[in-house]
Structure 1
C-alpha cells in the first residue's frame, strides 16, 4: 500500500471550480483510497480564498506554472484581472497541506492553471491547450510529490497498490 494522495477537490465532486461545478472522477480506486483514509482533498483556489463562481483564469502567453513561480508570467482572468498572487498562495497552501498530511502523490484535474500537469490552457481563452503544468502541480513536483492527472489514474493505481 502506497502513501497518502492529495486529490483535487473537484474530482470528488465538490463544486469548487470557477463555474461552481465539480468534475467527479468515478473510479473504484478512489472509493477504496477514501475508505482507507489515504485521500487528502484540497482546491488551491478555494484555499487561497477565491470565490465560487469566479471568472475563468489562464496562465498568459502559453507559459507554464513554473514560469509563474519564477516571476516570468501571470495568471489572468478572462475579465483582465491579475490573480497571480492568489494562485501562488493557493499552491503554497496546497503544498503545506500535502506535506502536513504526508502525501507522496497528487491526483490533479488536468487543464487547470493550478492543477494541470499534462496540458493547460494557453492564455488565449480560446479553448486551446499546450503541454505544461499549473502552478500547484509545478510547486508540488518541485517538492518531490509525484503528480498524476485525472486521466492517469490507472498509472497511480499501479504505482500505489
Structure 2
C-alpha cells in the first residue's frame, strides 16, 4: 500500500478548498494500490483554511508552522503528521507520494516562511516524520523517479 496526499488524488482538501489532482496518482488510488490522506485534516484543521508556511525559529534549529496572520500552528501540523504515520502503519504503507511545497508534505522544497512565493530546500513536518520512520518518499513532481522505483519491483 502507498499513502498519497489526498489533494493529489483529486480530493478538495487544500488550504484553499481545492484539489490538485495528478493523473498518475489518481490511477494508483483507483487501482486500489494507494490510500489518500490529508495530514492537515488529520490534525484537526478545517478546509478551507488560512495559508501556512514553515519557518525556522530564531536562535534554533527547530521548524515551526505559522499561518499568514501569524498564528503558530505547529502542534496541529505535528498531530496531523503523527496521525498520518499511524495510518501508514495500519495500512502497511512504506512508500508515500506527497504534495511538494506543502508545510506538511513537501519532500524536497517548501515555501520560505515569509509568504513571498519563494521556495527553499526543505521538507514538511509529515515528510520529515515519514522519512525518520524509514518510509520511501516521492513528490508529485517526481513521476519519472516513481516509475523507475515501481518498475524495480
User: What is the TM-score normalised by the length of structure 2?
Assistant: 0.91
SS state at 1:98 partner: helix
- What corresponds to 1:40 in structure 2? 35
**Alpha-carbon offset, residue 159 of structure 1:** 1.3
Instruction: Pick one of 123, 126, 135 that aligns with 1:136.
Output: 126
CA RMSD of aligned residues (A): 1.7
How far did residue 34 of structure 1 move? Answer: 2.9
Within a 5 Å distance, the mapping from 1:1-161 to structure 2 comes to 4-27=1-24, 30-31=26-27, 33-61=28-56, 72-161=62-151
Maintained 8 Å contact 2:57/2:63: no
CA distance in 1, matches of 2:14, 2:6: 9
Secondary structure at the counterpart of residue 159 of structure 1: helix
The alpha carbon displacement at 1:118 in A equals 1.0
In 2, the alpha carbon distance for the partners of 1:126 and 1:144 equals 32
How many residues are matched? 149
**Distance of aligned partners of 1:89 and 1:131 in 2 relative to their CA distance in 1, 3 Å threshold:** same
**Larger relative contact order, structure 1 or 2 (CA cutoff 8 Å, min sep 6):** 1
TM-score with structure 1 setting the length: 0.87
Cα distance change, pair 45–120 in 1 and its aligned pair in 2 (3 A): same
Which deviates more, 151-160 or 126-135? Answer: 151-160
Structure 2: 5+ residue runs without aligned partners?
none
Which 4+ residue blocks in structure 1 deviate beyond 6 angstroms? none
Q: CA deviation at 1:99?
A: 1.0
